[in-house]
Amino acid sequence: MKYNVFDYIVLTLVIVGAVNWGLIGFFHFDLVNVIFGNMTLISRIVYALVGLGGLYMISFYMRNQEV
């Protein structure tokens, strides 16, 4: 299976999102909120991109299956 640059970008976004959720869960610390502000346009874009990236990562299950 060959991954392209877009796959690595999306994977990085999803990892950043997962780390942010870990920080929220363990320490009540929202890194995106600290960097970009509380629900500003930029922070909402970051959250939206992470969410879309998570949906895109679902396709990895279908691409990695060998029949």
How many independent structural domains does the chain possess? 1
What tokens does 34 get?
């600290």
pLDDT band at 66 (very low <50, low <70, confident <90, very high): low
Asked if residues 1 and 34 have their Cβ atoms less than 8 Å apart, the reply is: no
Domain carrying residue 11: 5-64
pLDDT for 3-55, tens place per residue? 789 989 999 999 999 999 999 999 999 999 999 999 999 999 999 999 999 99
Residue 3: the pLDDT is 78
Widest distance between CA atoms in the chain: 46
Using CA atoms, how far residue 24 sits from 8, 41, 50, 59, 60, in Å, is: 24, 20, 15, 27, 26
Q: Is the pTM of this model over 0.85?
A: no
Residue 30: the pLDDT is 95
Average pLDDT over residues 49-66: 84
